[in-house]
Amino acid sequence: MKLSKSILTCAIAMALSSAAYAQNTDKPSSTSALTNVERVTAQGNLLVISQTSIQGLGNAASTLQQGNSNQVEIITTGDGNETDAVQMGNGNLILVTTYGDNNQQSYTQDGEQNGSLTEVIGDSNQLSVVQNGASFFGITNEVINIINGDGNDITVTQDGDGNWFYNYNMQGSANEVTAEQYGIWHEAKLYAIYGDENTIEIEQDGFWNQLTVNNITGNMNELTSEQIGSYNEISITELYGDENEISIEQNGDENQVSIDSINGNENNIEVEQRGNNNEFNSGVFTGNDNEVDSIQYGDDNIATAELIGDENDMLSVQNGNNNTTYFGVIGNNNEFISLQVGSDNIAHAVNFNGSNNDIEMVQTGDLNTAIIESSYPNTSIASNANEIVISQDGYANEATLSLSSIMESSNNQVDLAQNGELNAIDLMIEGLGNSIDIAQEGNFNLVAGISEGAFIVSGDENSVSISQVGEGNLVEGSIMGSGNVISVTQIGDFNSATVIQQ
């Protein structure tokens, strides 16, 4: 059964005098195990307690029920277990099943139609569940914990309406999970956690924020998630390894973070999104000691990272509208920085494979585009120890750099700087030991290459320096050979230079 969003829109408009919560997608009703449990009717309370302890310390269970239609069922097998259940209000449900010793559980329900289901197999686990609030358009608060292990600490606080927290399969010891849900219709789902000493902190405040973690396998991983706003989504498919740190903060509406796969140890991912319609997506994340930072302020920003290798660093900061950053990286000890401020900016690096590469893209202004491609599409060719800096300031700037599409390109240093309007640099480099410095300041400057014809630097130990100041300057070139040095300087108006060396 699904709730029609058109009905929701009308109801919320009448209840809240606002259509802020209206959404095209329907909010589905719960299909969890709690929905399969028939709750008692308004005829009275139901209490079932079964404790088994043979020649042991004994178990302790205490309950307090006030109101109508409350239900408590506690089944405990083992020694030294303590279970407390307090129900205030109507239609509350608590089901507890415990197998093991020295487990401590506390449940407090104050409101209407709250539900909690717990199954604990192990010793010395601590669970605390606090539920406050009623249902919201038929969606009730639900907490499910299925735990198999020792020394786990679970704390869940729901203060709102229709929030869901599902910890379906936790197998391990000394794990800590803290979840706080404030507001309406939040969903936090942990499907499988395998390992020891993992720490998960979840905070949701607003309307219909979603967090889904499908699989965490490893030890001493840290996941911190904070969602404040409406319709924010965080999805983590797979995390394999130890001592990984993931910190995600979403402040605004309709932000999305999707991480498909993390495989390795001591990876560090930090994502902060503020604004509307921001998206961070890491499709492939494989290796050790990688660090990814993505901070997005504004609207419609997208940052995508695919890292394969060791000790890679990526930082993408976007402030403005319609910005896009993409990194596809293969190699070791790489560092990638992209800073974009303005509108309609695109920064792009694809399969920059090799070792010890440095890429820095800084764009300030409007309609800027910077694309770096190394050893692409042939990923078997390495491009090593390169240092590339692209800085663009102005309007409608474009810089495109392609390294080593045919032969190996190593030890290259390229500095590209554009300041002004309608500047364009297109370049393709092949060879070893090239040093290229291009600076453009003014209007209508162009250094051509790739699709537009002209500039190709091919050979060994080439040094190219081009500086243009003024209006309407044009440089076309083709340099091939070894040990060549070329310098072009144009100051003034309507200048044209053509360079060919074989």
312 lies in the same domain as 417: no
354 lies in the same domain as 492: yes
Residue 95: C-alpha distances to residues 143, 219, 275, 407 (Å): 10, 30, 40, 67
pLDDT: is 374 or 1 the higher one?
A: 374
Residues 429-475 have pLDDT tens digits of 888 888 999 999 999 999 998 876 888 888 888 899 999 999 999 99
Structure tokens at 177: 């999970």
CA distance 155 to 101: 19
pLDDT at 42: 42
Counting every residue written for the chain, the total comes to 502
Write out the residue range of the structural domain in which residue 247 sits: 240-344
Tell me if 446 is assigned to some domain: yes
Structure tokens at 194: 């395998």
Of 358, 375, 494, 369, the closest CA to residue 413 belongs to 358
Of 257, 342, 341, 340, the closest CA to residue 305 belongs to 257
353 lies in the same domain as 502: yes
Give the residue from 329, 344, 359 where a domain finishes: 344
pLDDT at 265: 81
Evaluate if residue 113 carries a pLDDT over 90.
Answer: no
pLDDT band at 282 (very low <50, low <70, confident <90, very high): confident
Tell me if 126 is assigned to some domain: no
Give the residue from 299, 328, 344 where a domain finishes: 344
281 lies in the same domain as 368: no
Most confident of 18-22, 111-115, 132-136, 498-502: 498-502
Strand partners, 245: 222, 268
424 lies in the same domain as 283: no
Residues 223-245 have pLDDT tens digits of 999 999 999 999 999 888 888 89
Q: Which residues of 127-145 are buried (b: 16+ CB within 10 A; e: fewer)?
A: bbbbbbbbbbbebbbbbbb
Residues 290-347 have pLDDT tens digits of 788 999 988 889 999 888 887 888 899 999 989 999 988 888 888 889 999 998 999 9
pLDDT band at 377 (very low <50, low <70, confident <90, very high): low
364 lies in the same domain as 467: yes
CA distance 427 to 333: 25
* H or E element in which residue 273 lies: strand 268-276
| CA angle (190, 192, 197) in 5-degree steps | 90
Evaluate if residue 107 carries a pLDDT over 60.
Answer: yes
Mapped onto helix, strand or coil, the DSSP state of residue 302 is strand
Evaluate if residue 266 carries a pLDDT over 90.
Answer: no
Q: What's the mean pLDDT when you consider all of the chain? A: 84
Tell me if 456 is assigned to some domain: yes
249 lies in the same domain as 312: yes
285 lies in the same domain as 322: yes
CA distance 150 to 165: 21
399 lies in the same domain as 310: no
CA distance 292 to 263: 14
Percent over 70 (pLDDT), the chain: 88
pLDDT at 501: 86
371 lies in the same domain as 268: no
Number of domains present in the structure of the chain = 3
